[in-house]
Amino acid sequence: MSEPRLAVIGAGPAGLAATLAAAARGVHVTLVDSAAEAGGQFYRQPAPGLGARRPQALHHQWRTWERLRDGLRTHVRAGAVRHLTDHHVWFVERPDTGGFTVHALVGPGQEEAAEVRADAVLLATGGYEKVLPFPGWTLPGVVTAGGAQAMLKGGLVLPGRTAVVAGTGPLLLPVATGLAAAGARVAALVDSADPASFLRRSRALAGRPDKVAEGARYAGQLLRHRVRTLLRHTVVEALGTERLEAVTIAALDRDGRVRPDTRRRLDCDTLAVSHGMLPHTDLADALGCRLDGTDVHVDAEQRTDVPGLWAAGETTGIGGSALSLAEGHIAGRSIAARLAGRTPDPHEWTAAARTREKLRSFFAAVDSGYALPAHRAEQVTDETVVCRCEEVSAGAVREAVRELGAGDLRTVKLLTRAGMGWCQGRVCGPGVAEVAGCAETPGRRPFARPVPLGVLARAGETAGPARAAAPEEPQDDAHRDQ
Amino acid sequence: MNPLELARAEPGPAFTVTLDGREIEALPGQTVAAALWTAGVTSWRSTRGEGRPRGIFCGIGVCFDCLVTVNDRPNQRACLLPLRPGDAIRTQEGTGRHE
Ligand SMILES: Cc1cc2nc3c(=O)[nH]c(=O)nc-3n(C[C@H](O)[C@H](O)[C@H](O)COP(=O)(O)OP(=O)(O)OC[C@H]3O[C@@H](n4cnc5c(N)ncnc54)[C@H](O)[C@@H]3O)c2cc1C
Ligand code: FES
Write the pLDDT tens digit of every residue in B26-36: 999 999 999 99
What pLDDT does A403 receive? 86
pLDDT at A168: 94
For residue A38, give the ligand 1 atom closest to its CA: 49
**CB of A93 sitting under 6 A from ligand 1:** no
Q: Residue A326 class from Cβ within 10 Å (0-12 exposed, 13-18 middle, 19+ buried)?
A: buried
Confidence at residue A148, expressed as pLDDT on a 0 to 100 scale: 98
Instruction: Residue window 72-91, chain B: list those with CB within 8 Å of chain A.
Output: 73, 75-76, 79-82
For A211, A318, B24, the CA distances from A366, given in Å and listed in that order, are: 11, 11, 44
> What does the DSSP assignment read for A58-101?
G-S-HHHHHHHHHHHHHHHHTTSEEEE-SEEEEEEE-BTTSSEE
Q: How many CB atoms lie within 10 A of CB A78?
A: 9
The amino acid at residue A17 is: A
Q: Nearest C-alpha of chain B: how many angstroms from A265? A: 22
Q: What pLDDT, on a 0 to 100 scale, did the predictor assign at position A9?
A: 98
Q: Which residues of B touch A51 (CB under 8 A)?
A: 9-12
Instruction: For chain B, list the strands marked E by DSSP.
Output: 15-19, 22-26, 45-46, 53-54, 67-70, 73-77, 88-90, 92-93
Question: How far apart, in whole angstroms, are the C-alpha atoms of residue A115 and residue A102?
Answer: 5
pLDDT along chain A (482 residues), means of 10: 86 98 97 96 95 94 96 98 96 93 86 93 97 97 98 96 96 95 97 80 72 81 90 96 96 93 98 96 94 95 97 96 98 97 95 95 86 88 96 95 86 91 92 90 75 72 41 34 32
pLDDT above 70 covers what percent of chain B? 95
Q: How far is the CA of A164 from the centre of ligand 1 (A)?
A: 23
Q: Chain A within 8 Å of B69 (Cβ-Cβ)?
A: no
Give, using CA atoms, the residue closest to atom 41 of ligand 1: A89
Residues of A in contact with B73 (CB under 8 A): 109
Separation in Å, CA B74 to CA A174, A426, B45, B68: 34, 22, 11, 6
Ligand nearest to the CA of A64: 1
Is A388 in a helix, a strand, or coil? coil
Residue A318 per-residue DSSP state: -
Count CB-CB contacts under 10 A for residue A246: 20
By CA distance, what is A50's nearest residue in B? B11
Distance CA A468, CA A463 (A): 12
**What are the backbone angles phi and psi of residue A444, rounded to the nearest 5°?**
-100, 115
Contact across the interface for B58 and A388, Cβ inside 8 Å: no
What pLDDT shows up at residue A452?
Answer: 73
**Ligand 2 centroid to residue A450 C-alpha, Å:** 14
Instruction: Give pLDDT, residue A108.
Output: 66
Angstrom CA distances, A300 to A164, A251, A337, A352, B43, stand at 40, 42, 14, 11, 46
Q: What are phi and psi of B84, to 5 degrees?
A: -125, 155
- How many other C-beta atoms are found inside a 10 Å radius of the C-beta of residue A197? 15
- pLDDT computed for residue B98 by the predictor: 52
Is the CB of A319 within 6 Å of ligand 1? Answer: no
